[in-house]
Amino acid sequence: MKTLNIVFAVLFIVFAALQYNDPDPYIWIPIYLVSAFVCYQTYKGKFDKFSHWIIIAFCSIYAVRLFIDPDGVISWFKDHNRENLVQTMKATKPWIEQTREFGGLMLIIIVAAINLITNKKAGAK
């Protein structure tokens, strides 16, 4: 699990750096940096269950908002025929931007959940 955490710590830092030209970098840079920090702390053996639960709760609430938003994931899926999300990195369509953001949140949630599960089995508190 150490490998997973260092890989995702680095990836989340890269993701944060790529947010500088995003329409809302003030939201996404902190989200990715906090996730990177928590992965790094877990890698160093300083697992904190509370921070993982906070990340999961925050990202889940935000993901639900992006999912049901009028220009969110449901709109991308139903109204825009699952339009290609990676045809260009400049997201000029809100349903593409919000679906990508949803994917980022899901990735963070999955990594945090894996850490909770594996550290629970290892007897972490």
What does the CA dihedral 89, 94, 99, 102 come to, rounded to 10 degrees? 100
- For 48, the 3-state DSSP assignment is coil
pLDDT single digits (tens) 45-100: 999 999 999 999 999 999 988 878 767 665 656 655 555 555 555 556 665 677 77
Give the pLDDT score at 16: 95
Amino acid at 65: R
Residue 112's alpha-carbon distances to 24, 49, 90, 100, 123, in angstroms, are 23, 9, 28, 19, 16
Give the pLDDT score at 98: 73
Domain that holds residue 39: 2-121
Count up the domains in the chain and report the number: 1
pLDDT single digits (tens) 95-125: 567 777 888 999 999 999 999 999 876 544 4
- pTM attached to this predicted model: 0.83
Give the pLDDT score at 31: 96
